[in-house]
Amino acid sequence: MADQPVYAPDQLKPSNRGWARVLGIASIISLLVMTRPFNNHGGWVEDVFLLLIAGLIAVFLIGDAVLHRNGLRS
């Protein structure tokens, strides 16, 4: 009983990394398009939040690519 590996339910499901990467990049582009030159709002608060969210998505995409390259994620 102790020599059987333990799996979480989501480890057995295949993930589609290609679509996740494409949609992540599309999300970043759409958030960047909504910033300063292409909108009509007057303040900078909206731009800061849009840039922070786009940066967070980029960090997740880069982290996923690094983990996948190192073999820590399938």
Q: What total number of domains does the chain contain? A: 1
Tokens matching residue 23: 């949609």
For residues 70 and 4, give the distance between their C-alpha atoms in angstroms, rounded to a whole number. Answer: 25
Residue 41 lies inside a defined structural domain of this protein = yes
pLDDT tier for residue 31 given thresholds of 50, 70 and 90: very high
Residue 37 lies inside a defined structural domain of this protein = yes
Residue 2: per-residue pLDDT: 64
Residue 22 above 90 pLDDT?
A: yes
Residue 27 lies inside a defined structural domain of this protein = yes
**Quick one: what percent of the chain has pLDDT higher than 70?**
85
Contact between 60 and 30 (Cβ < 8 Å): no
- The pLDDT tens digits for 46-64 are 999 999 999 999 999 999 8
